[in-house]
Chains A and B, each alone.
Chain A
């Protein structure tokens, strides 16, 4: 089962990197939020994999991932709400247009 752990961790890492890439480089704000969710889910894979196949496997990893899901949901909810607000006021969800400050 040792190999299983490795594959899961690799999957997690790949997802995490995809998410990070998306969060940092995508222009559409919704995709940015989605990418963040992807990162969080990558972490969940890690937790669950460790909880099952880790050197000291036990349940707390799964519990942790439950909490993560909840928190990710709350974060997504707030993020979306803010995005809607932004869209209402600015009429765009393009991240490139978010440069009101800094001038």
Chain B
């Protein structure tokens, strides 16, 4: 039990360090760097042109499709990992079950493929 807690203490320490470093570095930077903001410096960079409109626009729906595909297949691994870990116990029966499961997902993949989800049209 102690070991269990200790390991996560270490993870927490890493997390703390990970957060501390940027804070420290940026604080140090703030002390060292000059700070003379002007209007020009703070405009959005658009290859030297005056910026047009904002960038908070609708993106291409294609990105969502990727996100959806990602969600589906990433969740698949939720089942694949435990199965893989316990594979030696589970044996053939679970293999076939998992095959069925993955086959169904592959059907989904084919569906997306055929519906041209993976066809990237610019942007």
Residues of A whose CB lies within 8 Å of any CB of B are 66, 69-70, 73-74, 76-77, 80-81, 84, 88
Contact = CB atoms under 8 A, between A and B. Distances in A.
B64 A74 contact: no
Nearest to A71: B75
Chain A to chain B: the 8 pairs with minimum beta-carbon distance, closest first: A73-B75, A77-B68, A73-B71, A70-B75, A77-B71, A84-B64, A84-B61, A66-B78
B64 to A, nearest CB: 6
B71 A76 contact: yes
Contacts of B82: 66
B100 interface: no
26 contacts: A66-B78, A66-B79, A66-B82, A69-B75, A69-B78, A70-B75, A70-B78, A70-B79, A73-B71, A73-B72, A73-B74, A73-B75, A74-B72, A74-B75, A76-B71, A77-B68, A77-B71, A77-B72, A80-B64, A80-B67, A80-B68, A81-B64, A81-B68, A84-B61, A84-B64, A88-B61
Interface residues of B, number: 11
Q: Is the interface of A mostly helix, strand, loop or mixed?
A: helix
Contacts of A66: 78-79, 82
A49 to B, nearest CB: 17
Contacts of B74: 73
Nearest to A66: B78
A18 B78 CA distance: 27
A84 B61 CA distance: 8
Interface in B34-89: 61, 64, 67-68, 71-72, 74-75, 78-79, 82
Nearest to B69: A77
Centre residue among A69, A76, A77, A84 by max chain B CB count within 10 A = A77
A74 B79 CA distance: 14
Interface string B85-117: 000000000000000000000000000000000
